[in-house]
Amino acid sequence: MTPFRFARAADTADALRLAAGPASAYLGGGTNLVDLMRETVATPGSLVDVTGLSNTVSPTESGGLLIGAALRNTALAEHPAVRARYPVLSRAILAGASAQIRNMATVGGNLLQRTRCAYFYDAEGARCNKRAPGSGCDALEGFSRYHAILGASPACVATQPSDMCVALAALGAIVHVQGAGGARTLPFTELHRLPGDTPEIDTVLAPGDLITAIELPPLPFATNSAYRKVRDRASYAFALVSVAAALEVEDGRVRDVRIAFGGVAHKPWRALTAEAALRGGPADGPAFHAAAAAELADAQPLRDNGFKIELVKRTLVAVLGDLGGAVA
Amino acid sequence: MEITINGSTTALPQDPRVSLLDFLREGLHLFGTKKGCDQGACGACTVLVDGERILSCLALAVQFEGRDVVTIEGLSAAGTAGGEGLHPLQQAFIGCDGFQCGYCTPGQICSAVGMVAEAKRGSPSHVTADLAAAVTLTRNEIQERMSGNLCRCGAHNGIIDAIQQVLSAEVLS
Ligand SMILES: Cc1cc2nc3c(=O)[nH]c(=O)nc-3n(C[C@H](O)[C@H](O)[C@H](O)COP(=O)(O)OP(=O)(O)OC[C@H]3O[C@@H](n4cnc5c(N)ncnc54)[C@H](O)[C@@H]3O)c2cc1C
Ligand code: FES
Ligand code: FES
């Protein structure tokens, strides 16, 4: 690990002030950043611990929930209002990492854990445009079982690995950010970006931007929501693919639906094409299959991950079936 | 800058690069906590911080300023009157063949103590069928909740047996 300064932020203003210099990074639980620092993939000159900032869950005026970014993943998953009203979020968090890691990880850190792959970690042995821009991508021709099938570029095929983020994409969450120019909000689905020619940049945030909270909008039908994660072992493994969905069915027809995929792209993948195909139509197997096919129409497999295309389609059909559509 | 380890307050390391795990082992010579992977993948380094199980390899010691850390050494001392004996879970691991080489064992036992506290306060897991219902620690629930602790010797069945034995005796609080 390269040397760094360490400071603890007392409040939001303190955090912004402490992180004003170049090469500063905020520190949540450290479960991603400390690991990357040990591998010398991340080399911040100064760390600002933000775990002392807001970690509360409070109701918003519109009937949603505002979640402080320092809240630990375990606490968010077990919060009674989240379990009752946004079960897909509890389920997604509980499907991720291990209990120990969820106890350490913060909401802000989970959002901003690096989009990554094994080649990104291999600072000594592999080329990676995300770690060393312009050096090339060894994953393209390499072991690509875990890599992207949607929205990738010749520069980078890594996937965003968070389970929690897939649920937040489906729920249409809003990110609260405090930066040099003051406070602002942005839709969660616009936080992460596709790799394009600059895969070293994971999100639209500027250096020094602090995530202060995540807001869940009111979404009454999210009481009928679910998360399904498909992985190489039954627990404590990253997703091959995952599906977060909420479904509202009335008289056999889809009144409203929210869908997002994990494990398929450089960002949590909100499936707007599938949602549009389903809305107003029959809530049955043929409609679910057609919607899944429409969303995956542009999927591009690599050497080892072609199976993901069929897998994510089938997982979506199964989840929608579980949520109350009849699967024929 | 201080931290409490097994009831004693001690100064944190000067260098912020020192992980909590290295501080325990190299700084304080508490060798019960093990380094398996040093990257969050095995659970051998599990300790309790303010009663919650965490991975000491993935965090810097300075992040825990003012917090209360309990390692396997602290658990065995607290579990018996004279401080010389074994924690009930340690005894049950012996009785149920919950280990072979023993390398993962301190992490397994600290993890189990944290796991029971989580279940008692009603924290659901990935395999909990009903998010609104009270938690019952079935074998399946214990397997899922202990999945962050790998055992290269494959003693998992004995580990679950040991936890169930202690739970049924209600010795764990
Ligand atoms: C072995 C292992 C297995 C895992 N498996 C899974 C899995 O199956 N599913 C899954 O979803 N995740 C998994 N993870 C990842 C884990 O969820 C993340 O490491 C964790 O959520 C990161 O949170 P943190 O608070 O520890 O972040 P940190 O490591 O502290 O920070 C991560 C990043 O966020 C930035 N940051 C932190 N807080 C803020 C803030 N408030 N504002 C701005 N920037 C901030 C930091 O600067 C850093 O760049 C796994 C991790 C490990 C080590
Ligand atoms: S040594 Fe910490 S998880 Fe393996
Ligand atoms: S007893 Fe050997 S690793 Fe678990």
Measured at the CA of A147, the angle between CA A110 and CA B39, to 5 degrees, comes to 50
From chain A, the residues in CB contact with B122 under 8 A are: 78
The two tokens of residue B73 are 């050494």
CATH number for the region B2-74 comes to 3.10.20.30
Looking at the complex, does the CB of residue B135 fall below 8 Å from at least one CB of chain A? no
Q: Quick check: do B2-74 and B86-169 share a fold? A: no
- Is A294 inside a domain boundary? yes
- The confidence score (pLDDT) of residue B82 equals 57
Residue B154 and residue B104 in contact, taking contact as beta carbons nearer than 8 Å: no
The two tokens of residue B72 are 């396997």
User: Is the CB of B104 inside a 6 Å radius of any atom of ligand 3?
Assistant: yes
Mean pLDDT of all residues in chain B? 94
From chain B, the residues in CB contact with A161 under 8 A are: none
Separation of alpha carbons B106 and B89, rounded Å: 10
- Is A270 inside a domain boundary? yes
For residue A251, the domain's CATH number is 3.30.390.50
What's the B115 CA to ligand 3 centre distance in angstroms?
A: 19
Closest Cα to residue B56, out of B1, B113, B10, B111? B111
Q: pLDDT tens digit string along A102-119? A: 999 999 999 999 999 999
Residue whose pair of structure tokens reads 């049924």 in the numeric block: B168
In which band, very low, low, confident or very high, does the pLDDT at B115 lie, cut at 50, 70 and 90?
A: very high
Neighbour count for residue A52 (Cβ, 10 Å): 13
For the CA of B55, the closest atom of ligand 2 is 2
For the CA of B57, the closest atom of ligand 2 is 2
Q: pLDDT tens digit string along A229-268? A: 999 999 999 999 999 999 999 999 999 999 999 999 999 9
Is the confidence at residue B141, as pLDDT, over 70?
A: yes
- Is A177 inside a domain boundary? no
Minimum Cα–Cα distance from A82: chain B residue? B131
Domain containing A278 equals: 224-326
- The confidence score (pLDDT) of residue A22 equals 87
Residues 224-253 of A with CB under 8 A from B: 234-236
Give the whole-number percent of chain A exceeding pLDDT 90.
98
Measured at the CA of B54, the angle between CA A69 and CA B170, to 5 degrees, comes to 120
Separation of alpha carbons B72 and B108, rounded Å: 10
Q: pLDDT tens digit string along A43-92? A: 999 999 999 999 999 999 999 999 999 999 999 999 999 999 999 999 99
From chain A, the residues in CB contact with B142 under 8 A are: none
User: Is the CB of B36 inside a 6 Å radius of any atom of ligand 2?
Assistant: yes
- The confidence score (pLDDT) of residue A327 equals 55
Minimum Cα–Cα distance from B126: chain A residue? A94
- Is A302 inside a domain boundary? yes
The two tokens of residue A119 are 């080649």
- The confidence score (pLDDT) of residue B83 equals 56
Q: Min CA distance, B133 vs chain A (Å)?
A: 11
Looking at the complex, does the CB of residue A5 fall below 8 Å from at least one CB of chain B? yes
- Is A218 inside a domain boundary? no
Which of the listed residues B153, B156, B159, B161 should we mutate to test ligand 3's pocket, taking the one with most ligand atoms within 8 A of CB?
B153
Which stretch of A274-288, B9-23, B84-98 has the lowest confidence by average pLDDT? B84-98
Domain ranges of chain B: 2-74, 86-169
Per-residue b or e along A282-318, where b marks 16 or more CB atoms closer than 10 Å to that residue's CB: bbbeebbbebbeebbeebeebeebeebbebbbbbbbb
Separation of alpha carbons A312 and A240, rounded Å: 9
In which band, very low, low, confident or very high, does the pLDDT at B169 lie, cut at 50, 70 and 90?
A: confident
Q: Min CA distance, A147 vs chain B (Å)?
A: 20
Looking at the complex, does the CB of residue B9 fall below 8 Å from at least one CB of chain A? no
Least CB–CB distance from A31: residue in B40, B126, B131: B40
Region label for A256, one of left (φ > 0), alpha (ψ between -120 and 50) or beta (otherwise): beta
Separation of alpha carbons A155 and A130, rounded Å: 8
Is the confidence at residue A149, as pLDDT, over 60?
A: yes
Chain-chain contact of A6 with B16 (C-beta, under 8 angstroms) = yes
Which stretch of A322-326, B40-44, B99-103 has the lowest confidence by average pLDDT? A322-326
- Is A131 inside a domain boundary? no
The two tokens of residue A67 are 């979640």
Please write down the long-range contacts of B72-77, taking CB distance under 8 Å and 24 or more positions apart. Answer: B72/B32, B72/B33, B72/B105, B72/B106, B72/B109, B72/B110, B73/B6, B73/B30, B73/B32, B74/B5, B74/B6, B74/B7, B75/B48, B75/B109, B75/B110, B75/B113, B77/B6
Q: Min CA distance, B82 vs chain A (Å)?
A: 30
For the CA of B43, the closest atom of ligand 2 is 3
**pTM, to two decimals:** 0.97
Q: Residue A8's beta-bridge partner residues? A: A49
Handedness of CA B84, B85, B88, B91 (dihedral sign): positive
Number of domains in chain A: 1
- Is A263 inside a domain boundary? yes
- The confidence score (pLDDT) of residue A285 equals 95
In which band, very low, low, confident or very high, does the pLDDT at B85 lie, cut at 50, 70 and 90?
A: confident
Q: pLDDT tens digit string along B13-63? A: 999 999 999 999 999 999 999 999 999 999 999 999 999 999 999 999 999
Chain-chain contact of B58 with A1 (C-beta, under 8 angstroms) = no
Query: Using the 8-state DSSP alphabet, how is residue A159 labeled?
Result: B
- The confidence score (pLDDT) of residue A24 equals 97
The two tokens of residue A206 are 């500027």
Pairing state between β A46-49 and A24-27: parallel
Residue whose pair of structure tokens reads 């909270």 in the numeric block: A213
From chain B, the residues in CB contact with A100 under 8 A are: 43, 46, 53-55, 111, 114, 148
Is the confidence at residue B144, as pLDDT, over 90?
A: yes
Chain centroid to CA A272: 16
From chain B, the residues in CB contact with A91 under 8 A are: 126, 131
Q: Min CA distance, A297 vs chain B (Å)?
A: 31
CATH number for the region B86-169 comes to 1.10.150.120
Q: Residue B4: what are its φ and ψ, rounded to 5°?
A: -105, 125
Looking at the complex, does the CB of residue A256 fall below 8 Å from at least one CB of chain B? no
Mean pLDDT of all residues in chain A? 97
Least CB–CB distance from B118: residue in A1, A83, A99: A99
- The confidence score (pLDDT) of residue B173 equals 47
